[in-house]
Amino acid sequence: MALAPVAGPASTVDGFVRQFLRNLNYERGVPLSAASANDRYFAFAMTVRDYLMARWLEDLRRQRVAQVKGVCYLSAEYLLGRQLDNNLLASGLTSIATTAMAECGIDIEDLRAAEVEPGLGNGGLGRLAACFIDSLATMGVPNIGYGIRYEYGIFRQTFQDGQQIEQPDSWLTMGSPWEFPHPEAAQPVSFGGYTEHYDDEGTERSRWIPAWNVLAIPYNYMVPGYQNGRVNTLRLWSAEATNRFDLRVFNAGDYAEAVRSQTFAENISKVLYPEDSTPQGKELRLQQQYFFVAASIKDFFDHQLAPDFDLANLPDRVIFQLNDTHPVIGVPEFMRVLLDEKKLDWDEAWAITQQCFAYTCHTLLPEALEVWSVDLLGRLLPRHLEIIYRINDEFLDAVRERFGDDEMRLRNMSIISEFPERSVRMAFLATVAGAKVNGVAELHSQLLRDKVLPDFNEFYPGKFTNVTNGITPRRFIRLANPGLSDLITEAIGTGWLTDLERLRELEASAEDPLFREAFASVKAANKRHLNDVLLVRDGFTVSDGHMLDVMVKRLHEYKRQMLKVLHIVTQYESIISGRVAASDIQPRTFIFGAKAAPGYAMAKRIIHLINAVGSVVNDDPRVEGRLKVLFPPNYNVTLAERLIPAADLSEQISLAGKEASGTGNMKFALNGALTIGTDDGANVEIRRLVGDDNFFLFGMSEPEVEALWARGYKPADFYQGDESLRRAIDLIASGAFSGGDKSVFEPIVSNLLYDDRFMVLADYSTYIAAQEKVDAAYADQDAWTHAAILNVARSGFFSSDRSMRDYIDRIWHAQPLR
Ligand code: 26V
């Protein structure tokens, strides 16, 4: 029987209190008087959850019945952030819940604070996936997000003597009220073994005889739309050992190996790899990738697709969106299912596959493009390797037919590369298999077409497209910045949260002195709030009257945190050398947030230097407190939500052509920070929209970068030719930030001077000049506020709802389910 959508039991204050107490008593087994903070948080979260449940069940049912085209988003990472506040907002229960808790003598803030955020991602790519599923639910588009339920998410960062220490992020030790395990829907996932070829009544067929398998247990999470009664599903897989041995495993010969692998099965979903740019080629990572896509594809066939569904119509029923190359092994897996299990012939299966996948590329760094050695792939997934070889053979035949026997071109385009070892280029496989390939900002998509995959662009005209990234305004404006949200609603009414282009209407308000005053006081209140948070969290204070200059993102050389350090050291040096009076300096607090991959030595050294510069600058009386460097450890989504609304200046200073898009840049602009940035990634589009007067541009353009690199980049020339740069570098080299020990930061200095692919010194002088303009502009607070308001008003384009519309119209051809 169909379950009608019912108003949840918690839709009144009394109902909420009753349901909360019921959950406390019956689910947690405690009375209110004896409930711990975690008990209260759990019972509260469950009450919100209960309210959403009827809607969720109804959406699941309707999606099953309708069998309309749905989006399966395949992503190895989802950087969700805390769930409680978001789900409260989506339910529209915030004020009822707040009153209800007050009646129970509970401050709802304490409940919010009790939640440990699930950090199941590294950075931009994982956070983007979380924004996208929020938008799809809000737009009512049927979607399942598939991924991995890592037992340990991104490591917790602490500092010891200024150096990064990684600690395990055991986010599950207290349990999570948001997840629903479904062991009955477990999927076995196989590995290893060998393949057999046999004659099936005249057709040659293959089968895979695996050596070992694991069980993938799905955990479902609600993805509620914003106050629209819709709830989609995020399904994350957890690995468990199985003792359901396949008899064939015993016959495969290597019994001992099979048992050993079995014991290690649970390792597969144990930990998120904390690298986000240099693939290590680790076997466990390939196991993770195959594990989650194989389970997801099987889940789609077993549980989403009607049993009598005609497979020829699959392209009208599903699109698998590949979030970078991590899930690309799903392509040969999908082929294997169609060929070996559903008994389709090759051409039929391939035609379907090519319409059921699309690929998003998130990088331009060549070292970040994943390859898997043929040796490893053949051992772990022998049948998939065969399929990849055949895909490649047919693809190269088609290339030959079109371009003739151009050996060079064939070598360049082959999915299999021969050097330094024979391996599979996953981005090429995704490009050949995908109906569409997209980059994540205009500049990135253009470079992808013209520089990274030009042969493919020529071969597949129309396959390449751009979808500029976006962010969800629900989390990053409404929840993170309630003061600004209220101000916006006062000015332009409701509705903008799901139609962000409406922020344009604020342009008129920018001319209103009273509105500017109100806007400035929201910013000031956000700074005070940040101050409270940092004081409790880290013992830091943000001084009054300081400009808040923020650089938060993963630590990577291409993002150039070093350029920011050189700016700080330049200012510091000018004070201590007596050339500039401290009192003439615009007071600034510089805030960094950044995790370094544990194996990335240079990134860790840069973290050490930032902390070292901070200790010296913050304690030097000559600075008179006018410069302050803060580096709160363990930057994560929760901290971002506090930092971004308080920021005055957003640092987006990557070397042009290296940052695919950036999404932090969008969050800052939408919260009324001005950007200082290069012409890179989505900065290009932000500047075009907000206008040159409201953006501080500096640095080489991408073609200038290329030209300088081609001429030969000689950092020493910049060092010799710029006195202020020389002083800053010399000060670091002198040991001034390392207790006189010159060796500590010597590798950073010599990297900048002799071996820097990211050309920090080349952009130094224009960066410093732009920072001087920033100081001058900040001196006129009212004009600054005017520019900040225009940043908000003109950034509506960067809603992830718009990104989703673009994917829907140009890639997925899906529809909202009404
Ligand atoms: C890459 C790798 C490489 C192999 C090892 C594991 C691993 C894990 C994650 C990644 C993702 C790196 C790519 C990435 O995060 N790109 C970022 O994507 C953002 C969303 O599109 C974009 O805004 C950033 O500019 C881009 O750096």
663 is catalytic: yes
Residue stretches of the chain with pLDDT short of 70: 1-8, 243-255, 257-263
Q: Is 363 in the pocket of ligand 1 (CB under 6 A)?
A: yes
Q: How far, in Å, CA of 235 to CA of 237, rounded? A: 7
- The CA 115 to ligand 1 mean position distance, Å, reads 26
Q: Is 800 in the pocket of ligand 1 (CB under 6 A)?
A: no
Nearest to 591 by CA among 554, 657, 557, 547: 547
Q: Which of 230, 235, 384, 559 is catalytic?
A: 559
Distances (CA, A) of 524 to 222, 354, 646, 696: 35, 53, 7, 22
Q: Which of 463, 554, 608, 658 is catalytic?
A: 554
Torsion over CA: 199, 332, 386, 217 (sign): negative
**Nearest-10 crossing angle of helices 482-492, 513-538:** 160
Atom of ligand 1 nearest to the CA of 663: 23
Q: What is the pLDDT of residue 293?
A: 98
Q: Which of 235, 475, 553, 564 is catalytic?
A: 553
- The CA 561 to ligand 1 mean position distance, Å, reads 17
Q: Which residue CA neighbors atom 8 of ligand 1 most closely? A: 276
Per-residue pLDDT tens for 534-585?
Answer: 999 999 998 889 999 999 999 999 999 999 999 999 999 999 999 999 999 9
Amino acid (one-letter) located at 88: L
Q: Is 362 in the pocket of ligand 1 (CB under 6 A)?
A: yes
Which mutation among 77, 128, 272, 276 tests ligand 1's pocket best, with the greatest number of atoms within 8 A of CB? 276
- The CA 290 to ligand 1 mean position distance, Å, reads 19
Per-residue pLDDT tens for 186-228?
Answer: 999 999 999 999 999 999 999 999 999 999 999 999 999 999 9
Specify whether the CB–CB gap between 221 and 137 falls below 8 A: no
Q: Is 274 in the pocket of ligand 1 (CB under 6 A)?
A: no
Which pair of tokens denotes residue 287? 């196991």
Q: Which residue CA neighbors atom 4 of ligand 1 most closely? A: 279
667 is catalytic: yes
Tell me the CB-side half-sphere exposure of residue 652, using CA atoms within 13 A.
Answer: 33
Per-residue pLDDT tens for 364-408?
Answer: 898 888 999 999 999 999 999 999 999 999 999 999 999 999 999
First to last CA, the chain: 20
Reported pTM: 0.97
Q: Which of 235, 326, 523, 667 is catalytic?
A: 667
Q: What is the pLDDT of residue 277?
A: 79
- The CA 381 to ligand 1 mean position distance, Å, reads 25
Which mutation among 288, 362, 443 tests ligand 1's pocket best, with the greatest number of atoms within 8 A of CB? 362
- The CA 277 to ligand 1 mean position distance, Å, reads 7
Which mutation among 278, 363, 452, 557 tests ligand 1's pocket best, with the greatest number of atoms within 8 A of CB? 363
Which mutation among 324, 370, 472 tests ligand 1's pocket best, with the greatest number of atoms within 8 A of CB? 324
Q: Which of 325, 498, 663, 785 is catalytic?
A: 663
Q: What is the pLDDT of residue 6?
A: 45
Specify whether the CB–CB gap between 333 and 294 falls below 8 A: yes
- The CA 323 to ligand 1 mean position distance, Å, reads 9
Per-residue pLDDT tens for 557-571?
Answer: 999 999 999 999 999
554 is catalytic: yes
Residue written as token pair 């396959």: 463
Q: Which residue CA neighbors atom 12 of ligand 1 most closely? A: 276
Q: What is the pLDDT of residue 265?
A: 83
Beta strand ranges found along 247-367 (DSSP E): 318-323, 357-360
- The CA 125 to ligand 1 mean position distance, Å, reads 5
Per-residue pLDDT tens for 727-743?
Answer: 999 999 999 999 999 99
Specify whether the CB–CB gap between 642 and 81 falls below 8 A: no
Q: Is 467 in the pocket of ligand 1 (CB under 6 A)?
A: no
Q: Which residue CA neighbors atom 2 of ligand 1 most closely? A: 276
Atom of ligand 1 nearest to the CA of 122: 9
Q: What is the pLDDT of residue 4?
A: 42
Atom of ligand 1 nearest to the CA of 124: 19
- The CA 432 to ligand 1 mean position distance, Å, reads 21
Q: Which of 362, 383, 474, 642 is catalytic?
A: 362
- The CA 497 to ligand 1 mean position distance, Å, reads 27
Q: How far, in Å, CA of 321 to CA of 711, rounded? A: 40
- The CA 479 to ligand 1 mean position distance, Å, reads 25
Q: What is the pLDDT of residue 444?
A: 98
Q: How far, in Å, CA of 371 to CA of 427, rounded? A: 8
Q: Report how far Cα 675 is from the mean position of its chain's Cα atoms.
A: 20
Residue written as token pair 């048992």: 259
Q: How far, in Å, CA of 532 to CA of 491, rounded? A: 28
What are φ and ψ of residue 607, in 5° steps? Answer: -60, -45
Residue written as token pair 């749905």: 70
Per-residue pLDDT tens for 451-470?
Answer: 999 999 999 999 999 999 99
Nearest to 444 by CA among 654, 713, 274: 654
436 is catalytic: no
Residues 6+ apart with CB under 8 A from 316: 69
- The CA 376 to ligand 1 mean position distance, Å, reads 23
543 φψ region: left (φ > 0), alpha (ψ -120 to 50), beta (else): beta
604 is catalytic: no
Nearest to 491 by CA among 471, 523, 519: 519
Which mutation among 277, 278, 283, 323 tests ligand 1's pocket best, with the greatest number of atoms within 8 A of CB? 277
Q: Which residue CA neighbors atom 1 of ligand 1 most closely? A: 276
The helix or strand, by DSSP H or E, that contains position 257, with its residue range, turns out to be helix 255-263
- The CA 325 to ligand 1 mean position distance, Å, reads 10
Say whether 208 sits in a helix, a strand or coil: strand
Atom of ligand 1 nearest to the CA of 273: 6
773 is catalytic: no
